[in-house]
Structure 1
Amino acid sequence: MPKVVDPRIRRRELAEAVWRVVRRDGLEHASVRNVAREARLSMGSLRHYFASQSELMAFALRLVIDGIEQRIAALPSDGDPRQRAARVLAELLPLDDQRRAENEVWLAFTARAMTDPELRALRDEGYDMLRAGCRGLVAGLIGPGRDPEREAARLHALLDGLAVHAAVRPDVDTPDALRAVIADHLSELRAPRTTDAPTRS
Structure 2
Amino acid sequence: MPRIVDHEARRRELTEALWRVIHRDGIEAVSVRTVAAEAGCSPGALRHYFPEQKDLIVSAMDRMSERAGARITALEPTGSPVDRLLAYCEQLVPVDDERRFEAGAWLGFITRARRDPELRELSDRVQRSLRGFLSQALDGLGFDADEVVRLHALVDGLTLHLLLHPGQITPEEVRARLRAHLEGLPRRSV
1:189 matched to 2:161? The reply is: no
Deviations 1:150-172 (A, max 9, x none): x1100000001001000011122
* 8 A contact 1:14–1:35 mirrored in 2: yes
Residue 40 of structure 1 and its aligned partner are, at CA, apart by 0.7
Q: Could you list the runs of 5+ residues in structure 1 that have no partner in the other structure?
A: 193-201
TM-score for the superposition, normalised by structure 1: 0.86
**Shift >6 Å, 4+ stretches:** none
1:157 matched to 2:153? The reply is: yes
Letter of the aligned partner of 2:145 in structure 1? P
* 8 A contact 1:134–1:153 mirrored in 2: no
Partner of 1:170: 166
Deviations 1:147-198 (A, max 9, x none): 632x110000000100100001112222111111111111111479xxxxxx
Partner of 1:105: 105
* Structure with greater Cα Rg: 1
* 8 A contact 1:141–1:186 mirrored in 2: no
Whole-Å Cα distance in 2 between the matches of residues 158 and 77 of structure 1? Answer: 21
Q: Alignment RMSD, CA only?
A: 1.8
Q: Secondary structure at the match of 2:184?
A: helix
Correspondence 1:1-201 to 2 at 5 A: 1=1, 3-76=3-76, 80-139=80-139, 140-142=141-143, 148-149=145-146, 151-190=147-186
* 8 A contact 2:77–2:83 mirrored in 1: no
Residue 138 of structure 1 and its aligned partner are, at CA, apart by 2.3
Distance 1:5 1:97, change over 3 A: farther
Whole-Å Cα distance in 1 between the matches of residues 182 and 124 of structure 2? Answer: 26
Which deviates further from its counterpart, 71-80 or 179-188? 71-80
TM-score for the superposition, normalised by structure 2: 0.91
Letter of the aligned partner of 1:179 in structure 2? R
Whole-Å Cα distance in 2 between the matches of residues 89 and 2 of structure 1? Answer: 47
Deviations 1:19-45 (A, max 9, x none): 111111111111001100111100111
Residue 83 of structure 1 and its aligned partner are, at CA, apart by 1.9
Residue 81 of structure 1 and its aligned partner are, at CA, apart by 2.2
**How many residue pairs get matched?**
187
In terms of fraction of residues, the more helix-rich structure is 2
Identity %: 44
